[in-house]
Amino acid sequence: MKLGWDLRVSLDRYLTSWKREDDPSLGDFTYGFELEGLPQKFLRKYNSKVIQRSGPWEGTRFSGLGMSSLSTIRPSFVQTPDEVYYTYNVSNKSTITRTVLSHTGSLQRCLWSDQNLEWSVTYSIPNDACDEYGKCGPNAICTINSPRICSCLTGYIPKSPLDWSALGWSEGCVKKNPSSCPGKEGFRKLKGVKVPDMLQFWINTSMSLKECRDKCLSNCSCSAYSVTDIEGRGSGCLIWYGDLIDMRQLNEFSSNQNVFIRVTASDLGDDIELPMLNFVAIAKATDNFSYLNKIGEGGFGPVYRGQLPNGKEIAVKRLSENSRQGSDEFKNEALFIARLQHRNLVKLLGCCIDGEERMLIYEYMPNGSLNSYIFDTLLTANSLVWRRRFDIIVGVARGLLYLHRDSRLRIIHRDLKASNVLLDSEMNPKISDFGMARAVGGDQMLEKTMRVVGTYGYMSPENAIDGIFSTKSDVFSFGVLVLEIISGRKNRAFRHPDHNFNLLGHPWKLWLEGKAFELIDEKMEDSFAVSEVMRCIQIGLLCVQRHPEDRPSMASVILMLDSQSAMLPQPKQLGFFDERNHEDVDYSLSNEMTITQIEGR
């Protein structure tokens, strides 16, 4: 069987339905190839109204059709200067199959049963609600396994919010913000989708993907672009103008079709193409978000361990309905971490936006969070020797320095704590959770907010009391973390029988009494450089001083950690060192002190 065109004689081979079940005269429905743009198969009624569209060929099938029918047939697509057609062979020579276009407009794959002596329908088109042409209207995408199958593309909102909320999707979506063209705009990558119908388009089969992107960006009417050679080298250029119609998220991992949707800078943030993973793929990777794969829970929601088909392990943060964070924090974290590359920052692999679902997909950290290692008695005793603790302190410091000084954006994390430091397979620390982070430009390193965020016990006084935050707020949190790592005790849970000081006040008291070594975790091994630990205690105390201007920058902290001979200033008054009684006790020393002697404990 051939379905398609013989271009030499302008012969179009297509299917036509019967008029009725018992009337073989020409019916209302046709199914055949159309050659505008990339060749596609269309199911039409009255030769005009589109019922279903196949999408272009992507190597093993037409991109908009499912894999179900491939168990009995091996389809192929031929495109030459003389012919453009579709055909197939059966997978098993004993199989008897046929394709029927019914009088009701259903294209059916039928299989003959020798046992029952009858035909059975194994696959039909339309197969589901998303097969319906333009189901979600313009500028929207259909995802069959989503609770609400239609969602607007990034940068678009429902044209009729009332109809949309009542599951009336036909009017589709319109741009949320006016175009900033020819200003700064970018593209959001949609992975594994059926491309929009080619109503207004431009095509060039020799362009590279970058040339295609530049071509689209230079024309303010361009809505999206993609490659034409889906099954080969990923080259060629297909550009859409105006509304984008009849897109759907594909369920199978094998789909190679990606579309780059044009969005304004305000919708995307500095032209980032963040990989988009579909909901079905993530559900499969996590065994449908199995409780057995749940590895944590935070303000964002639950975190699941998963594995992609290629064997790569991932961590999936899924925004919960009652999350303390929301879509703004989700977008904030996605855009920040996507722009950051450092060995001491967790790596974002992609995200998933599917209806109300919001997920971030990270590299999996097999050793979990630092929180469990320094506060869990069993893990601490077996794993965190001093050298490892010191390396973690240095790694976190380097990650913060990158955020504050060396990244393209100058970023204040605002929620640094032990549970937001993850450990890879070699126990290298990686800072995570950028939902509360803020970027500050140039010399603008001090800001005030009406919404105080952070974790009590790690927040600096000026942030907790006045809502003022700066890089020195992160330095304060880092100081708390250093003291926790050295002592193996949690600031907020610290209790001492002889006084009411917390974990900041306790080492401060010991420091003034010349007994700072008593802070060292008793579970650490017996042999280590006491002077190095004492130096880190002093650095921790310098970082948690009450006044921001007294705290060192992270660049100075790195210098202090790297050089045993550098002079360290003496700590001054600490902030929040007596949380329970709030006594204003003035402990102060003025001499500088440096420790260089290496001793055994």
**Strand, coil or helix: 145:** coil
Q: Give me the amino acid identity at 400.
A: L
Q: What is the DSSP string of 245-293?
A: -SEEE--STT---EEEEEEEHHHHSSS----B--HHHHHHHTTTT-GGG
287 in Cβ contact with 316 (< 8 Å): no
Q: Counting beta carbons within 10 angstroms of the beta carbon of residue 116, is it exposed (0 to 12), middle (13 to 18) or buried (19 or more)?
A: exposed
CA-nearest of 357, 325, 545 to 437 is 325
Residue holding tokens 């396994």? 145
415 is catalytic: yes
Strands 140-142 and 150-152: antiparallel
Distance (Å, whole) CA 1 – CA 86: 8
User: How far apart, in Å, are the Cα atoms of 87 and each of 40, 230, 360?
Assistant: 13, 19, 41
From the candidates 243, 354, 415, 578, give the one annotated as an active-site residue: 415
Q: Give me the amino acid identity at 160.
A: S
Contacts for 268 with CB less than 8 Å, ≥ 6 apart: 154, 155, 186, 187, 188, 335
End-to-end, the C-alpha distance of the chain in Å comes to: 85
338 in Cβ contact with 396 (< 8 Å): no
Distance (Å, whole) CA 262 – CA 218: 12
195 in Cβ contact with 63 (< 8 Å): yes
Task: Provide the annotated active-site residues.
Answer: 415
